[in-house]
């Protein structure tokens, strides 16, 4: 679900800043395991990835990352309550069918959750829609007919969701071109990164 | 010039025998005073003795894991597609050991061996063995070969149970355990199939209470039926449907009890071939080895507690169409390992072949094992 390119390293760095050294991390939709590798190197974390795709599972094995093959849509029943410090869902929330359930599962299994998603409210995306097209950009690289993204949202939408679902946001960083966006983030930021816990 | 080596094959191999004169006390309480284990090795044990891999056999196989015999070139090892130069378990890097377990019928001491106390074959007097007993005797073979710690212990099905038991019994002697098509214990349905197989053998008039050797008889009819029952559980419904469907041998219904459907002649053929080389007393015991395996039993059914001593890294692989030891059963093991915070990778291979998939060529499966062994290679610097 995620490949490691320069753009996404930006959210990796933010996540690495947040997680405590030596903590236990579960990375949902871990792709080839790059984030876990990065966090292991930077922060000495231990943990596992969860991934459905055969090729990605193989890549994790090659990268020395522990991976459990499974379907996020079926929940996290292999994992016990509160067994991780952080459960990460990086660039995958928008492709999950039952977003509400997965956030709930993240906060059952982890003390804290971390999500990153492409901000649909980014001005370039709005411009695409104004011009009569679905947006295609570095963070939303798919055409409408082939996109796995079924639950796109804006920063405002996500924060409304958290308020309504008893999720307390602990930290937020909004990114564009690898740098933090402080001013009008829902308009000027292309990628959102949140750390949250149960309220 | 014919070197006898085909690409990717370890080539001609020769079984060897290790004799043990120190008694082994078995889980059932009985002891075997002295015994032999027949084994084969492939590749070279490195100077640091860090590159040894133990490949544990399942129900109907033995120590002949890879390569072939000079005088019997068609007798290819049961995991030859997995083990050899350039194969997923690369014998250019790793030293692989295959052993016929105690109670077997391929040369290791078992029911058809001579009981030194009576001068006659053991027959039914050969004790009932367990996975724990096998692992204990394999550990003695490892001592004999000068292997302190295995880079990996691996197996499929019953072989995987041994790999798991190794990790629990000898945590310091196993760096990695590969559990393929495994289960933490047999289900009632699994035991039921085993019991049908045992009854087929025991009720064969040629069984003679297990002392058939003295009667110069063999319960081949029982063994054939036992194998037929077992074989059904190794294949998936879809695999049987695509291989045989309702195909008729003679193109039309004959209204007889001769084999008419292709699946009938296939099962009879499998049963016949098996009964020619396998010993019924060994078969009985191996089905019991399977039935009794249950590491959680002595921990009040708590598998996580049972696996707590294990320190190895684990690769757990299941096959989606395996209804004998389903993916859910492998996930139970994974959950227990996660609870214990062990290094574990779990892969679920979408293969059509059922339980037997662990023996077959499947690119995704073999690539995964190869990648995992690359990691092991890094760990042990080979």
Which of A69, A77, A109 has the most B C-beta neighbours within 10 Å, making it the best mutation to test the interface with B?
Answer: A69
Interface test with B, best of A37, A60, A66 (most B CBs within 10 A): A66
Gyration radius of chain A over CA positions: 16
For residue B161, is pLDDT > 90? Answer: yes
What DSSP letter does each residue of B21-35 carry, written as one string? -S-EE-TTS-EESSE
pLDDT at B5 over 90: no
Q: Judge contact between A158 and A123, C-beta under 8 A.
A: no
CB A10 within 8 A of CB A104: no
pLDDT in tens, A106-128: 999 999 999 999 999 999 999 99
* CATH fold for the domain made of A10-198: Rossmann fold (3.40.50)
Matching residue, tokens 């947006």: A135
Beta partners for residue B35, in sequence order: B20
Closest C-alpha to A118, from A174, A68, A76, A63: A174
| B344 contacts in chain A (CB < 8 Å) | 48, 66, 68
Q: What is the pLDDT of residue A117?
A: 93
Q: How confident is the model at residue A11 (pLDDT cuts 50, 70, 90)?
A: confident
| Cα gap B267→A155, rounded to integer Å | 63
Q: Is B75 exposed, middle or buried (0-12, 13-18, 19+ CB in 10 A)?
A: exposed
ipTM of the complex: 0.94
Mean pLDDT of chain A: 92
Predicted TM-score (pTM) of this structure: 0.95
What confidence tier does A139 reach under pLDDT thresholds 50, 70, 90? Answer: confident
Quick check: B1 and B59 in contact, CB under 8 A? no
Considering CB atoms only, which of B343, B348, B378 is closest to A66? B343
- Helix, strand, or coil (residue A88): strand
Residue for token digits 């003295």? B214
Measured CA distances, B128 to A131, B19, B106, B111, B208 (Å): 78, 20, 17, 10, 18
Residue B161 tokens read as 């149970």
Residue where the block lists tokens 């009854």: B199
| CA–CA min distance A98, chain B (Å) | 23
Phi/psi-derived region of residue B136, left when phi > 0, alpha when psi is between -120 and 50, beta in every other case = alpha
pLDDT category at A177 given cuts 50, 70, 90 is confident
Structure tokens at B377: 């290679």
């Amino acid at each position: 679900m995620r490949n490691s390119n320069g753009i996404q390293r930006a959210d990796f760095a933010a996540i690495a800043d947040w997680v405590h050294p030596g903590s236990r991390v579960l990375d949902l939709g871990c792709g080839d395991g790059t984030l876990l590798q990065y966090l292991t190197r930077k922060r000495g974390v231990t943990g596992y990835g969860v991934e459905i795709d055969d090729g990605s599972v193989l890549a994790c094995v090659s990268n020395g990352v522990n991976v459990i093959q499974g379907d996020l849509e079926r929940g996290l029943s292999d994992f016990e309550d509160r067994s991780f410090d952080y459960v990460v869902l990086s660039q995958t929330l928008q492709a999950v069918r039952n977003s509400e359930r997965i956030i709930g599962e993240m906060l059952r299994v982890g003390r804290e959750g971390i999500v990153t998603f492409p901000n649909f409210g980014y001005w370039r995306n709005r411009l695409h829609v104004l011009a009569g097209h679905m947006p295609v950009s570095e963070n939303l690289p798919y055409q409408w007919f082939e996109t796995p993204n079924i639950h796109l949202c804006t920063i405002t939408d996500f924060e409304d969701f958290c308020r309504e679902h008893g999720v307390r946001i602990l930290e937020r960083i909004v990114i564009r071109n690898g740098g933090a966006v402080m001013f009008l983030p829902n308009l000027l930021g292309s990628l959102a990164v949140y750390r949250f816990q149960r309220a | 010039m014919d070197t006898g080596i085909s690409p990717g094959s370890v080539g001609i191999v020769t079984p060897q025998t290790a004799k043990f004169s120190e008694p082994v006390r078995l889980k059932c309480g009985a002891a075997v005073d002295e015994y032999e284990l027949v084994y084969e090795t492939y590749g070279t044990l490195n100077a640091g003795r860090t590159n040894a891999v133990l490949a544990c056999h399942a129900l109907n196989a033995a120590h002949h894991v890879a390569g072939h015999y000079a005088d019997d070139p068609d007798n290819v090892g049961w995991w030859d597609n997995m083990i050899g130069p350039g194969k997923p378990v690369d014998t250019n890097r790793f030293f692989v050991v295959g052993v016929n377990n105690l109670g077997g019928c391929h040369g290791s001491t078992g029911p058809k061996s001579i009981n030194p106390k009576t001068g006659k074959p053991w027959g039914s007097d050969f004790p009932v063995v367990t996975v724990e007993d096998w692992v204990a005797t394999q550990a003695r073979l490892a001592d004999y070969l000068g292997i302190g710690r295995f880079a990996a212990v691996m197996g499929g099905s019953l072989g995987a149970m041994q790999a798991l038991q190794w990790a629990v019994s000898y945590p310091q002697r196993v760096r990695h355990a590969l559990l393929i098509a495994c289960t933490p214990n047999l289900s009632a349905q699994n035991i039921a199939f085993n019991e049908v197989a045992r009854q087929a053998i025991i009720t064969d008039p040629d069984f003679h209470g297990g002392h058939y050797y003295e009667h110069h008889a063999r319960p081949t009819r029982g063994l054939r039926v036992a194998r037929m029952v077992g074989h059904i559980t190794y294949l998936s419904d879809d695999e049987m449907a695509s291989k045989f469907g309702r195909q008729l041998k003679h193109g039309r219904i004959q209204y007889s009890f001769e084999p008419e459907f292709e699946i009938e002649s296939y099962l009879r053929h499998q049963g016949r071939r098996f009964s020619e080389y396998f010993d019924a007393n060994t078969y009985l015991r191996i089905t019991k080895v399977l039935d009794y395996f249950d590491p959680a039993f002595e921990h009040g059914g708590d598998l996580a507690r049972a696996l707590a001593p294990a320190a190895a890294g684990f690769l757990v692989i299941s096959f989606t169409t395996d209804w004998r030891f389903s993916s859910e059963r492998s996930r139970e093991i994974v959950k227990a390992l996660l609870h214990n915070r062990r290094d574990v990778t779990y892969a679920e291979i979408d293969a059509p072949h059922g339980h037997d998939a662990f023996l077959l060529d499947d690119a995704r499966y073999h690539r995964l094992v190869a990648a995992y062994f690359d990691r092991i290679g890094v760990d042990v610097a080979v």
